A and B are shown apart, each in its own frame.
Chain A
Amino acid sequence: MKKQHAILMAATFLGLAFVGQAEARDQIRIVGSSTVYPFASYTAEEFGQTTRYKTPVIESTGSGGGMKLFCAGDSMDTPDITNASRRMKAKEFKLCAKNGVNDITEVVIGYDGIVIAQSKGNDNINLTRKEILLAVAAEVPNKDGSKLVPNPYKYWNQINANLPHRPILFYGPPTSSGTRDAFADLVMKKLTKKMDVYTSLYKADKMKNKAYKKYKTIRQDGVYVPSGENDNLIVQKLLKDKSAFGIFGYSFLEENSDRIKGATVEGVTAEPENISSGKYPVSRSLFFYTKNSHASKVPGMNDYVSLFINEQMIGEEGNLSEIGLIPLPKADRNATRHRVVKHIKLTAEDLKKK
């Protein structure tokens, strides 16, 4: 009898023990993009090892998921920092403001290039963004460019006679991925928003054809194969399937340069110099956002941020460049530091321009 009571009591106590906890915290909490995750966790580890603070906890939730958690409120059970492989959206900024998160600083840490890679045995190939668009879009202009038709292309030489007779096949990230968003933005949206054959549909019926304003729908007839968030898997598939192309972040190309190689895009090779100078067209900036109201309550938060933006981390010879971060130009690095030191608040206007 006694024993049974003891067990029940213990269970009840444990159940009640955690109610009302979670106010004070001595560990930085970070969420956000899986692309920034390797850089953030590297910095977090450095921070934990070289200071007496605890190592921050970093969750890889994707850029959008991170924003949602970050903007959920100002209390201590929300994250202090969110990483993003794209800029905060105006919508997300509004959500933040609505939930009392008003003092945010935006920190740009560097670039990431998205590569179109293939197995090493193939001939070098040069693709234009237009050709890639025609290969992956669900609907493409017909021969005379007068209207949209479901994508008929099966071989690269159907798009451009100079390209090889090679089946079109892409292994790429799924819809939840920031890499896919960036790919769709940089390759598809950037072109389609200036192509009349897409935009005229939007103009004809703005409500019904909203998707055609900046068209970025990827075809679903098996030519583009979504391959999960794990980019190593895409590398494996490229090795098996020699004719296929893979879409992923530059760091994976660098790490696997003995067995895969990147296609040149509009004549530009995916190399750190080209990506950081902006010559390579499929590249994006990486960010993190800090919740400044937490800075005084979470020990070490400011130190973590200053370690991250230190030349030793994000500089040209910095540690993060060794694991694939492409550094910002020097002036931009200084601008980033200036924003952090001065605690410059992010405003709705900041997010509009660009």
Chain B
Amino acid sequence: MSLHVNQQMKRRYAAEKRFKAYAITALTLAGAFLIFFFADMISKGLPALQQAEILVDVHYNDSSMQNYKKAVDKPLRRIVSRGYLRTLPLYMEDHPELMGTNESRWVLATADVDQYLKGKPHRLKSKYQKQIDGLLKAEKVRLAFNTGFFTRGDSKMAELAGIRSAVIGSIYVLFLTMIFALPIGVMTAVYLEEFAPDNRLTQIIEVNINNLAAIPSILFGLLGLAIFINFFGAPRSSALAGGLTLALMTLPIVIITTRAALQAVPDSIREAAFGLGASRWQTVWHHVLPLAMPGILTGSIIGLAQAMGETAPLLIVGMMAYVPDAPGNIMEAATVLPAQIYTWAGESIRAYEERTAAAILVLLSVLLSLNTMAVYLRKHFEKRW
């Protein structure tokens, strides 16, 4: 008899051990993927924070006004970024006092020089490689912090490409998403949870909202195209069209999380308010909503973080475009960070690889801080009953 029990015990312990082992394996696997992903991105992306520069004498005069290549001495023309040189004529027009002077300054080198200095695959001819080696000895070439990556927009010259226009586009889009999705979402949830009678109609609405939260995001893009661009005439590729489209996508998430937060407020609070003669409106506005606020904010931030990383619906409304200039208002063409990453990932020029990884790091850190904020808000302001 006891032998039988012992055997049974053994089996149960073994089963428990097995189960634990499975769980740990799953966790390690997930952790390994994560570590691999981060290590890969960081090792690829960090070099993009440095950019090659060359110390040259820039000649401001009439001949360089005519042909911008003449602004630097001949041997340097092939290794100084043309993206810098071509801006000189307009620069001289704006600063006539510079004409006839020379200036010694650090300017951008071409992407090939940059990749050569970083020991990556490049297409620099051996003649120029020797020249760079010589300049390196004379300390006329350096790898400096790549401020341009944050202050410039997209470019077809890898050395010039930056994330500024995409970041500003993302800010516009997220702002619009927020001001549309939050009030509408919260109001809908408050009505459904606190005011609406429980009948067939509200049940249908509820099912539909839950359903909307689960449909593929690209459908919202098609909806946005049909409503905002084709019907209301919002300009294609604009932050407005993108923001409204993402607001549609975020709306169900906001509604669902807000309802959950409202449900978590115990009925005793409402009953106490009613007992003191408060109207339904006063109960909600003065007591229930403030108590549910941390939950609502958490849900909204998570919804926004999701919207921030979204590309599919934006593709449909034309935001996957080449937009090097940061948009000045919500009607102008804009692009967003994930779209920028996608565009760079498809470039044939190899120097974009590190920039793609660096942009991914930026996106990840923003998402990480948004999600951390959500966790913080929940931990600090949440009331337990």
Instruction: List the interface of chain A (C-beta within 8 A of B).
Output: 7-8, 10-11, 14, 18-22, 27, 29, 34, 37-38, 40-42, 44-46, 48-50, 52, 54-55, 57-60, 77, 229-232, 249, 251-252, 254-256, 258-259, 319, 323-324
Q: Is the CB of A255 within 8 A of B350?
A: yes
Max chain B Cβ within 10 angstroms of own Cβ: one of A42, A49, A77, A230: A49
Q: Is the CB of A323 within 8 A of B323?
A: no
Q: Which residues in A have their C-beta under 8 angstroms from that of B234?
A: 18, 21-22
CA distance A345 to B312 in the complex (A): 37
- Interface members, chain B 307-363 (any A CB < 8 Å): 318, 320-325, 331-333, 343, 345-350
Q: Is the CB of B83 within 8 A of A49?
A: yes
Please tell me which one of the listed residues B86, B90, B233 contacts residue A20 in the complex, with CB atoms under 8 A apart. Answer: B233
Q: Does B258 contact A (CB under 8 A)?
A: no
**Closest-CB distance, B119 to chain A (whole angstroms):** 13
Binds A, one of B204-212, B235-243, B296-304: B235-243
With an 8 Å Cβ cutoff, the count of chain B residues facing the other chain is 39
- Beyond the given A21-B235, A44-B324, A232-B347, could you list 17 further A-B residue pairs with CB under 8 A, ordered by the A residue number? A11-B180, A18-B234, A22-B233, A22-B235, A45-B156, A49-B86, A49-B87, A50-B90, A55-B323, A55-B324, A60-B343, A77-B235, A229-B346, A230-B346, A232-B345, A255-B349, A323-B349
**Closest-CB distance, B335 to chain A (whole angstroms):** 9
Q: Does B155 contact A (CB under 8 A)?
A: yes
CA distance A60 to B323 in the complex (A): 11
**Closest-CB distance, B168 to chain A (whole angstroms):** 14
* Known contacts A7-B183, A11-B183, A41-B156, A252 near B348 by CB under 8 Å: yes
Q: Is the CB of A19 within 8 A of B233?
A: yes
Q: Does B96 contact A (CB under 8 A)?
A: no
Q: Is the CB of B321 within 8 A of A57?
A: yes
Q: Which residues in B have their C-beta under 8 angstroms from that of A45?
A: 155-157, 324
Q: Which residues in A have their C-beta under 8 angstroms from that of B322?
A: 37, 40-41, 44, 57-60
Closest partner residue, chain A, to B231 (CB atom): A19
**Closest-CB distance, B354 to chain A (whole angstroms):** 13
**Closest-CB distance, A110 to chain B (whole angstroms):** 15
Q: Is the CB of A60 within 8 A of B350?
A: no
The 3 closest A-B pairs by CB, nearest first: A42-B156, A57-B333, A41-B322
Q: Is the CB of A60 within 8 A of B90?
A: no
Q: Which residues in B have their C-beta under 8 angstroms from that of A38?
A: 156, 347-348
Q: Which residues in A have their C-beta under 8 angstroms from that of B320?
A: 59-60
Q: Which residues in B have their C-beta under 8 angstroms from that of A29?
A: 236, 333
Closest partner residue, chain A, to B232 (CB atom): A19
Q: Does B213 contact A (CB under 8 A)?
A: no
- Interface members, chain B 5-28 (any A CB < 8 Å): none
CA distance A85 to B234 in the complex (A): 29
Q: Which residues in A have their C-beta under 8 angstroms from that of B157?
A: 42, 45
Give 21 A-B contacts (CB < 8 Å), ordered by A residue.
A11-B179, A11-B184, A14-B179, A19-B233, A20-B233, A21-B233, A21-B234, A21-B235, A22-B235, A49-B87, A54-B325, A57-B237, A57-B321, A58-B321, A59-B318, A59-B320, A60-B322, A77-B233, A230-B346, A323-B348, A324-B348
**Closest-CB distance, A40 to chain B (whole angstroms):** 8
Q: Is the CB of B321 within 8 A of A59?
A: yes
Instruction: List the interface of chain B (C-beta within 8 A of A).
Output: 82-83, 86-87, 89-90, 121, 123, 155-157, 179-180, 183-184, 232-237, 240, 318, 320-325, 331-333, 343, 345-350
**Closest-CB distance, A89 to chain B (whole angstroms):** 23
* Known contacts A37-B322, A42-B156, A255-B348, A27 near B82 by CB under 8 Å: no
Q: Is the CB of A60 within 8 A of B321?
A: yes
Q: Is the CB of B324 within 8 A of A18?
A: no
* Known contacts A18-B240, A21-B233, A50-B89, A57 near B155 by CB under 8 Å: no
Q: Which residues in A have their C-beta under 8 angstroms from that of B236?
A: 29, 77
**Closest-CB distance, B229 to chain A (whole angstroms):** 9
Please tell me which one of the listed residues A44, A52, A231, A258 contacts residue B348 in the complex, with CB atoms under 8 A apart. Answer: A231
Please tell me which one of the listed residues A21, A52, A319 contacts residue B82 in the complex, with CB atoms under 8 A apart. Answer: A319
Q: Which residues in B have their C-beta under 8 angstroms from that of A255?
A: 123, 348-350
Q: Which residues in A have their C-beta under 8 angstroms from that of B332?
A: 27
Q: Which residues in A have their C-beta under 8 angstroms from that of B90?
A: 50, 52
Closest partner residue, chain B, to A54 (CB atom): B325
**Closest-CB distance, B107 to chain A (whole angstroms):** 15
Closest partner residue, chain A, to B321 (CB atom): A59
**Closest-CB distance, B182 to chain A (whole angstroms):** 9
CA distance A7 to B322 in the complex (A): 34
**Closest-CB distance, A61 to chain B (whole angstroms):** 8
Please tell me which one of the listed residues A7, A11, A18, A259 contacts residue B331 in the complex, with CB atoms under 8 A apart. Answer: A18
Closest partner residue, chain A, to B176 (CB atom): A14
Closest partner residue, chain B, to A34 (CB atom): B346
**Closest-CB distance, A81 to chain B (whole angstroms):** 13
Q: Which residues in B have their C-beta under 8 angstroms from that of A324?
A: 348
Q: Is the CB of A21 within 8 A of B348?
A: no
